[in-house]
Amino acid sequence: MMETKRIKGGLVQVLLYVLFAIICVVNLYPVFWVVASSFKTNQEFLVSLLALPTRFEFTNYVKAWQESRIGVYFFNSLYVAILSIVVILFLAVMVSYALARYSFKLRNTIYAFFLIGMLIPVHSTLVPIFVTFSSLGLANKWFTLILPYVGFNMPFAIFILESFIRTVPIEIEEAAVIDGCSKPAILARIVFPLCGPAVATVCVMTFFNIWNDFIFPLILVTDNNLKTVQLGLQNFIGPRSANYPQMMAALTIAIIPVLVTYFVFQKSLIQGMSAGAVKG
Amino acid sequence: MNIASKKNTWTLLWLLLPGLLVYTLIAVVPIIQAAYLSLFDWNGSSSMYFLGLDNYREIFSSYSDYWNAFKNTMLYVVFCCIGQVGLGFLFAVLFINRKFRFGALFRSALYLPCILAPVVIGFLGLMIYNPRFGLLNTLLSLVGLEHLGRDWLGDPNVVIYALIAIHIWQFIGYYTTIFLAAAQGISPEILEVAEIDGAVGLAKTWYVIIPLLRNTIFVCLTICIAGTMKVFDQIFVMTKGGPGVASEVLALYMYNNTFNRFRYGFGSAISIVILLTSFVMIVIPRWLIERRVRSVE
């Protein structure tokens, strides 16, 4: 009896390891394939799709970076993302602090008003945003993309920061008030630093959203010098795209920042992703 | 600190106003604007022509492509709820409370596809489904199933399922991760007691794990529906809604009408329909579930 149970348990364990291996392969192989193919010549790629590259050829990267202008797009994306995150944090910390620390009549209404933003389908705002931006001359400017990114990423930031500020003991602030600290100074020098983990989560999640976004550059940016990576990749669709390895190199460049952020901040990311869902 | 004084009110105002203003102007006002524009016929440059509700009549008329896009979106929603949340839950149940070697590798592998940009996923899809240089057809012929190979994105009967499959693949790990995180909140004692009482396998899942994770399941379904209603980028990259309109979903239907045919009024009307559809899809299931739960209790 014990014996069969142990064998059965062992068998289950083996089957789980098989499933585990299958999931790993299915999830990792396509990405690995893109990176591996990016080092091949077009000739090599067309002869055998699956063969590994025989040597590391970086010409594809150089060409993608310079000729296909992925380098320019890369820094555009980075710049838009960083600037947006700074503005989001600035605004969201203030709002979250007000919502967490003050009780006033409209508090719940305002909180709900912000949270609804997480459910607004971005696509139902595109036509008016396009029309407004074009008519006010806000399209194709250095700050164009920052506006929608700030607006649409603020609800998540407020959601995370508000619940975190609630867990920070208020006594620290009270001590600061007694010491004659002004409100802006309390926010900047006490509340903000104490929110470290929540700020990290907001930064990582927002960076992913902005880096990966495609729809806002698609409708608001036509200036080739302001395009972001996701929009720039579109150059590889169509008749000129015969060079697959160069495209793979461009894709790899587009993935790298996300991958690096992922591995550095894995913990905050998974916390952020599951925070809302697990708490319900 | 909560004493309402004049000074406090001012502080409150300057804390809230900037954020509230930016958010309202960018995320909320456009919806009102869309509702207004939806009553007009307008190509963006010439004068606007008031139509009343004619745009909506056209959307819901039998000859419009709306119903095709609606059907495709619903296919997405149904298959993704089953494939992503369902399979994600199944994987989580299998791996709950098990010690693994390479656990960290497993978690990374699970999550990796979720962080890739939809555009990148679209390019991956192009490379997987390419009839001549595609990964899928190459693998099929490698295992002797060459006859199953086809132009996955060129066949109007297959294309939508090919697109859905990629989307399911991308997000299974997301839901598995969420369920695993939620399951950490279940104390091992509860599961052990359940096993001693004879609840193993299916019974344990059905009577112990599902009730304990009920809230998480609902939230996952909500996230899944909301996320699937927004699918756009990867389809734009892979097929642009084609061949014909075979893979057009609601968001693409809106985009094609607005930005390719310059029908801003009509596009706005579709936007409003998308907004209401998402609202109904997200709110009504929650409401039904909550009502049932209350009546059970």
pLDDT in tens, B85-106: 999 998 888 877 666 677 778 8
Query: Which of A68, A106, A115, A123 to probe the B interface (max B CBs under 10 A)?
Result: A123
User: Which among A165-174, B3-12, B77-86 has the top mean pLDDT?
Assistant: B77-86
Which helix or strand (DSSP H or E) is residue A193 part of? helix A192-194
Q: Which residue has the higher pLDDT, A215 or A15?
A: A215
Look at residue B264 in the predicted model and tell me its pLDDT: 92
Look at residue B1 in the predicted model and tell me its pLDDT: 46
**Each residue's pLDDT tens digit, A95-128:** 999 999 888 888 999 999 998 888 888 888 999 9
The arithmetic mean of pLDDT across residues B18-33, rounded, is 94
Is residue A267 in some structural domain? yes
Range of the domain at B182: 65-296
Is residue A214 in some structural domain? yes
Q: Which residue has the higher pLDDT, A244 or B296?
A: A244
**Each residue's pLDDT tens digit, B214-246:** 888 888 988 899 889 889 999 999 999 879 899
Nearest chain B Cα distance for residue A188, angstroms: 13
Look at residue B44 in the predicted model and tell me its pLDDT: 77
- CATH code for the domain of B289: 1.10.3720.10
Is residue B39 in some structural domain? no
Distance CA B234, CA B113 (A): 13
Least confident stretch, A274-278, B116-120, B241-245: A274-278
Is residue A201 in some structural domain? yes
Q: pLDDT-based confidence at A52, cuts 50/70/90?
A: confident
Residue B296 exposure: Cα atoms within 13 Å on the Cβ side: 7
Nearest CA in chain B to A234: B237
* Other Cβ atoms within 10 Å of B135 Cβ, number: 18
Average pLDDT over chain A reads 87
What residues of chain A lie within 8 A of the CB of B142, using their CB? Answer: 50
User: Residue A37 corresponds to which tokens in the numbers above?
Assistant: 């193919």
Is residue B38 in some structural domain? no
What residues of chain B lie within 8 A of the CB of A236, using their CB? Answer: 123
User: Which of A28, A33, A129 is facing B109, going by the closest CB pair?
Assistant: A28
Per-residue pLDDT at B45 exceeds 60? yes
User: Which of B8, B30, B116 is facing A129, going by the closest CB pair?
Assistant: B30
What residues of chain A lie within 8 A of the CB of B14, using their CB? Answer: 94
The phi and psi torsions of A122 (rounded to 5 degrees) equal -50, -35
Q: Which residue has the higher pLDDT, A197 or B84?
A: B84
Chain A residues 218-247 with a CB less than 8 Å from chain B: 218-219, 230, 233-234, 236-237, 244, 247
Do the chains contact at B178 and A277, CB–CB below 8 Å? yes
B148 touching A (Cβ < 8 Å): no
Which helix or strand (DSSP H or E) is residue A14 part of? helix A2-37
Distance CA B262, CA A182 (A): 53
Is residue A91 in some structural domain? yes
Do the chains contact at B19 and A158, CB–CB below 8 Å? yes
Per-residue pLDDT at A280 exceeds 50? no
Per-residue pLDDT at B2 exceeds 60? no
Q: pLDDT-based confidence at B3, cuts 50/70/90?
A: very low
Which of A202, A204, A259, A212 lies closest to A233, judged by CA? A212
Per-residue pLDDT at A142 exceeds 70? yes
ipTM of the complex: 0.88
Per-residue pLDDT at A232 exceeds 80? yes
Name residues whose C-beta falls within 8 Å of residue B64's C-beta, 6 or more positions apart in sequence. B58
Which helix or strand (DSSP H or E) is residue B40 part of? strand B40-41
* Number of domains, chain B: 1
- CATH code for the domain of A123: 1.10.3720.10
Length of chain B: 297
Per-residue pLDDT at A266 exceeds 70? yes
Distance CA A247, CA A224 (A): 18
**Each residue's pLDDT tens digit, A31-45:** 999 999 999 888 888
Residue where the block lists tokens 């060079």: A243
Tell me A242's DSSP state. Answer: G
Distance CA B208, CA B194 (A): 7
Cβ–Cβ pairs < 8 A, chains A and B: 250
Per-residue pLDDT at A237 exceeds 90? no
- C-alpha angle A274/A277/A280, rounded to 5°? 140
B33 touching A (Cβ < 8 Å): yes
Per-residue pLDDT at A195 exceeds 70? yes
User: Which of A126, A158, A277 is facing B223, going by the closest CB pair?
Assistant: A277
Look at residue A279 in the predicted model and tell me its pLDDT: 45
Least confident stretch, A199-213, B139-153, B246-260: B139-153
Per-residue pLDDT at A241 exceeds 70? no
* Number of domains, chain A: 1
Is residue A69 in some structural domain? no
Q: pLDDT-based confidence at B286, cuts 50/70/90?
A: confident
Range of the domain at A269: 77-279
